[in-house]
Amino acid sequence: MQDPALRTPQLAAWLAGTDIGLLELRTPQGTLRLGRQGDEIIELPDEDAEPELLAIHAPSVGVFLHSHPLAAAPLVRIGERVEAGQTVGLLKIGPLLLPVTAPQAGIVDGLQAVDGLAVGYGTPLVDLHPL
Distant-in-sequence, close-in-space partners of 24: CB < 8 Å, separation ≥ 6 = 31, 32, 33, 34
Same domain flag for 74 and 121: yes
Q: What is the per-residue pLDDT across 23-63, written as a single tens digit (0 to 9) for each? A: 787 777 777 888 877 777 887 766 655 667 899 999 999 99
Q: What is the per-residue pLDDT across 51-97, written as a single tens digit (0 to 9) for each? A: 678 999 999 999 999 999 999 899 999 999 999 999 999 999 999 99
Same domain flag for 40 and 64: no
**Within the chain, how many helices (H) and strands (E) appear?**
1, 11
72-83 exposure pattern, b = at least 16 Cβ within 10 A, e = fewer:
eebbbeeeeebe
Residue 125 lies in a domain: yes
pLDDT at residue 1, rounded to an integer: 43
pTM for the whole structure: 0.62
Same domain flag for 65 and 16: no
Burial class (CB in 10 A: 0-12, 13-18, 19+), 109: middle
Assign residue 68 the CATH number of its domain.
Answer: 2.40.50.100
Query: Quick one: pLDDT band at residue 19, thresholds 50, 70, 90?
Result: confident
> Is 101's pLDDT higher than 50?
yes
Q: Could you list the residue range(s) of the whole structural domain that residue 106 is in?
A: 54-130
Residue 49 lies in a domain: no
Same domain flag for 59 and 36: no
What percentage of residues in the chain have a pLDDT greater than 70? 89
